[in-house]
């Protein structure tokens, strides 16, 4: 289902960004358009986080293979109840590292117990969701930021620790020295309310 209100919102944002920083004129006109929140994700919140954990520090192809193995273990669908029935050895057998096994196990147990209640997330702010999830082993701020952007469609996330975002910013601004995260944090302030969209075009320009 297409969210027409979000589509109009993004259209307004894409007109605002180049007025704040002309370096974004070319990518907004010529690169793949930002679509955050226009279409509802087919994944559950739990599935999205599991996929993000699987993808950490591995190639896209490897993540896809491991994800398929997990789906097969779960009889075709990665739902929390089925993952919760798998032993740690079964999780490791699909190609997960020991650390990722622990992360997925802790996430699964926290979801099953109600410690993490995804239904509340609609009513929580970005920072509140970050504070809910980062206490879990292996889930850092970057992982939650990706979840906020790509799963929840939040528009004001500024993932300055993401190397590709910094590299894209450098490319667009023709920087001769790599920008530091703390500096980029401050440079994002004029874009408050639309920083996820700025990050999108930095990724595309990286």
Helices (H), the chain: 4-20, 25-30, 45-55, 60-73, 80-84, 88-93, 98-113, 126-133, 141-146, 163-173, 181-187, 195-205
Distance CA 143, CA 128 (A): 14
| Active-site residue, selected from the candidate residues 105, 126, 162, 170 | 162
Q: Where are the domains of the chain?
A: 4-36+156-205, 45-151
Encode pLDDT of 9-53 as tens digits: 999 999 999 999 999 999 999 999 999 999 888 999 999 999 999
Encode pLDDT of 42-92 as tens digits: 999 999 999 999 988 888 899 999 999 999 999 999 999 999 999 999 999
Which one, of 172, 178, 176, 180, lies nearest residue 198 by Cα?
172
Q: What confidence score (pLDDT) does residue 56 get?
A: 87
Q: What confidence score (pLDDT) does residue 2 get?
A: 73
145 pLDDT more than 80: yes
Encode pLDDT of 184-197 as tens digits: 999 999 999 999 99
CA torsion 75→80→82→85, rounded to 10°? 150
CATH T-level topology, domain 45-151: Endonuclease III; domain 1 (1.10.340)
Asked if 126 contacts 153 with a C-beta cutoff of 8 angstroms, the reply is no
Residue with tokens 């032993």: 87
Would you give the distance in Å from CA 7 to the centre of its chain? 20
Q: Percentage of the chain with pLDDT > 70? A: 100
Q: Which residues of 17-34 are buried (b: 16+ CB within 10 A; e: fewer)?
A: beeeeebbeebbeeeebb
CB atoms within 10 A of CB 162: 19
1 pLDDT more than 80: no
Q: What confidence score (pLDDT) does residue 61 get?
A: 93
Asked if 193 contacts 165 with a C-beta cutoff of 8 angstroms, the reply is no
Q: Does residue 162 carry a catalytic annotation? A: yes
Architecture of domain 4-36+156-205: Orthogonal Bundle (1.10)
4-36+156-205 and 45-151 agree in CATH topology: no
């Amino acid at each position: 289902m297409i969210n027409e209100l979000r589509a109009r919102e993004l259209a307004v944002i894409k007109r605002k960004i180049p007025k704040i920083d002309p370096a974004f004129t070319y990518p907004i006109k010529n690169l793949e358009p930002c679509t955050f929140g226009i279409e509802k994700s087919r994944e559950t919140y739990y599935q999205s986080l599991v996929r993000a954990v699987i993808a950490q520090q591995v190639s896209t192809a490897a993540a896809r293979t491991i994800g398929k193995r997990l789906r097969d273990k779960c009889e075709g669908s990665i739902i929390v109840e089925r993952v919760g029935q798998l032993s740690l050895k079964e999780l490791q057998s699909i190609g997960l590292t020991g650390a990722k096994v622990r992360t997925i196990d802790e996430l699964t147990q926290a979801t099953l117990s109600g410690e993490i209640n995804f239904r509340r997330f609609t009513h929580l702010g970005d920072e509140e969701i970050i504070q809910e999830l980062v206490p879990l082993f292996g889930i850092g701020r970057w992982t939650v930021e990706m979840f906020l952007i790509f799963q929840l469609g939040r528009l004001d996330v500024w993932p300055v620790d993401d190397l590709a975002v910094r590299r894209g910013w450098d490319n667009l601004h023709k920087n001769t020295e790599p920008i530091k995260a703390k500096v980029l944090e401050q440079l994002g302030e004029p874009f408050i309310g639309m920083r996820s969209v700025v990050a999108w075009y930095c990724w595309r320009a990286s």
